Amino acid sequence: MEKHRGFPGRLPGTDYQFTIRRDSKAGPTKLIARERFADRRPPDRRADEGFMAALWANFGAEPFVRGNLDAGRLSWLFGREVVAGENPFDPLSYDAMLVIDEKRARINFPDAFGVGR
């Protein structure tokens, strides 16, 4: 599993996790597209925006490997702002390639693109 050095481990000042420390003995958690409802709590929305900002600052529009990025946090963005970067895509692989759908991400998280690339 590739570890993304320099990527924040969590949203500052919270317990919202962005990365994992080690491989799971049971294997990687499957990436799924979780539905975000309009009534999500503001802290959850901030965590999504913070995670998107960290993804953009670290990877920009380039494809990146899933590695040690938290599957739960990725799943809130997967299928919308973060999409498969390869075909076929294996949602159960730490080596799976992902890419930011910049157009959609800028619409849904405009403040996440204030700094970075």
- Asked if residue 2 belongs to a domain, the reply is yes
Using the predicted structure, report yes or no on whether residue 33 has a pLDDT greater than 70.
Answer: yes
- Asked if residue 88 belongs to a domain, the reply is yes
Number of domains making up the chain: 1
- Asked if residue 47 belongs to a domain, the reply is yes
Within 10 Å of residue 40's Cβ, how many Cβ atoms? 12
- Asked if residue 50 belongs to a domain, the reply is yes
Task: Note the pLDDT of residue 28.
Answer: 86
pLDDT (tens digit, 9 = 90+) per residue, 61-98? Answer: 999 999 899 999 999 999 999 999 999 999 999 999 99
Q: Which residue has the higher pLDDT, 98 or 117?
A: 98
Tell me which residue range forms the domain holding 32. 1-112
- Asked if residue 92 belongs to a domain, the reply is yes
- Asked if residue 3 belongs to a domain, the reply is yes
- Asked if residue 117 belongs to a domain, the reply is no
